[in-house]
Structure formats: C-alpha cells, structure tokens
Amino acid sequence: MKLFKLISKVCCFFLLMLFHLSLANAQDLVVLKSRYLKTADSVLVYKPVNYLKAHKYPVVFLLHGHSANYRSWSKLTDIQQLADTYNFIVVCPDGLKKSWYLNSPQADSLQYEDFFMKELLPEMAARYQVDQKKLFLTGASMGGFGAMYLFLNHPDVFLSAGSTSGVLNLRHSGFKKTTIANLLGPYSEENRAFDEYSPVNRLEKIKGLNKTLIFDCGTEDYLYKANNQFRQKCDELKIKATYIAQPGAHTGGYWSKSIHAHFRFFKELAKNEIN
C-alpha cells in the first residue's frame, strides 16, 4: 500500500511538471528593436496549449491601459486560459506606458502605429501560424482607444475590434493636458488634432464596409458619456456594433470581467469567416 501511494505521488508530480512545462512552452516573450520607437518593445505572446504548426490561428492583439505594460493584462485575467478556450493566439505588446498607440505628428516623438503595422504585425506573421483573415484588436482605457484607432485606420487588415472603458473621445480623457498633449500638442478647443484622432470621429472610415465591433463601459466610469456618444455615432452611420453598458467603474476589476465578452464575440466572427 505504501509503495502504491509513493508511485501515485511520483506520477502526480511528473504530470504536474508536464502540465507546467506545456504552459511555459505556450508563452513567448519577444523583444523587438524598432526604427519607429525610441526603445525596444517587449511583446508577450500566448499560444493555445495544443498549438500546431499545421494549423492557422486567429490572433487577438490585447492592448493595455495608461501607465501599464505588456504584463498588465496577465495580472487581470488568465490569458492562457483565454488562448486555450478560444483557440486564439493572444499578443500583448508594450504600449510604452503612454504611447496611445498612435503616430504623433510631433516629428521627434513616437510613431507607434508605424511600429505596430510595419514591424509587429509582420514579425508575428513570420514567427507564428497566423490566420491573416482573422486578426482582432481590443484593450482597456488607453488600450481601448488604441484598438479602435488602429482598426478604424486599417479596416482592410483587421476583421474586428473591441474596447472596454475605452477613451473613444480624446477630449474626455483625464490625460488630455498631459501625455496626449505631449503627442498631439497643447490641449485647447482650437487644437483639432484631439478631434481628428478620436475614434468617435473616425467611424466614417468603416461606413458601408459591413464591419462589426464590440465595446463596453461601466455606468460609473468617467468615460461613460464618451462611450454613449460612440454608440450614437454607430447608430447614425448604421454600423453594426455590440455595446454593453453595465455597472462598473474605470478599474482593473471591471476589465478582468468585461474582456471575456470580447473573446466570445471574436470567436463567433472567426467561426463565421470563410477562409
């Protein structure tokens, strides 16, 4: 009996070791040197645990919020579980705390959109089995802005996008006079860049393209008004959008729950997309 218990414990130990080893192999840290950024960018990539090189996978680019980094989403939710459940590759790039994921018109500033489109996307396609017809973007707060901004600028590249508590109108942001101003110039009513870069004013770009998107915001969030404005604009332009308004504030606790609806939404779109 003692020998049997010992064998059972040894077997359990090795099974646990194999399980953790498989999870470790499912995650990669990729560091990219960029000509468009003033530094290298760290990218955390989650592959489904059953990842096969003979199969093509949809990809979700998951963007973090202001002052966070490429590991921040992993502290909010189990990203590996999301990759496994939905059979997606999940890519978490570093937004350099305050890049806002855009190309600054300031000549000596960051050109994050160029990094994303011209360096990050090709690198992911070269390293992984990426289904190019099933690319998605989503994120929280600044990351919600980035996801919608990149999607609306490149609707031919991405199938859909999401935003949770996103800064969908830059004039509503608490950072409009600080980090956004550093990229777009001093904040004022006359600085039209704050309107031109706002996703709510770029929705015209996908009018008539039969694109669909998802976004949500907590009813206690200071960006709730901006998200309602975004919904109204979608309605005016007859853009198909799933909008979820629910109790919650501008917090990681809210995002840890809200992001799951985005993955379910993307899964349905990926399933219905013909290769």
Express each pLDDT in 233-246 by its tens digit: 999 999 999 999 99
**For each of the chain's 275 residues, which pLDDT tens digit applies?**
555 454 545 433 443 333 443 445 789 999 999 999 989 999 999 999 999 999 999 999 999 999 999 999 999 999 999 999 999 999 999 999 999 999 999 878 899 999 999 999 999 999 999 999 999 999 999 999 999 999 999 999 999 999 999 999 999 999 999 999 999 999 999 999 999 999 999 999 999 999 999 999 999 999 999 999 999 999 999 999 999 999 999 999 999 999 999 999 999 999 998 66
Query: What's the pLDDT at 1?
Result: 54
Q: Is the backbone of residue 172 left (phi > 0), alpha (psi -120 to 50) or beta? A: alpha
Query: What's the pLDDT at 5?
Result: 54
Cβ pair 157, 121 in contact under 8 A? yes
DSSP, collapsed to helix, strand or coil, labels residue 275 as coil
Half-sphere exposure of 80 (CA within 13 A, CB side): 13
Rounded-to-integer distance, Cα 8 and Cα 2, Å: 10
Cβ pair 188, 181 in contact under 8 A? no
Distances (CA, A) of 117 to 102, 120, 143: 11, 6, 16
Residue 145: its H or E element = helix 142-153
Distances (CA, A) of 177 to 68, 173, 189, 191, 235: 19, 9, 12, 12, 30
Distances (CA, A) of 24 to 91, 127, 177, 264: 15, 17, 42, 25
Residue 90: its H or E element = strand 89-93
Query: What's the pLDDT at 107?
Result: 78
Q: Nearest-CA neighbor of 163 among 54, 261, 46, 237?
A: 261
Query: What's the pLDDT at 189?
Result: 97
Query: What's the pLDDT at 191?
Result: 98
Fold (CATH) for 29-272: Rossmann fold (3.40.50)
Q: What is the per-residue burial (b if ≥16 Cβ within 10 Å, else e) of 236-275?
A: eeebebebbeeebebeeebbbebbebbbebbbebbeeeee
Query: What's the pLDDT at 71?
Result: 98
- Map out the domains of the chain as residue ranges: 29-272
Residue type, 199: P
Tokens read off for 47: 């592959």
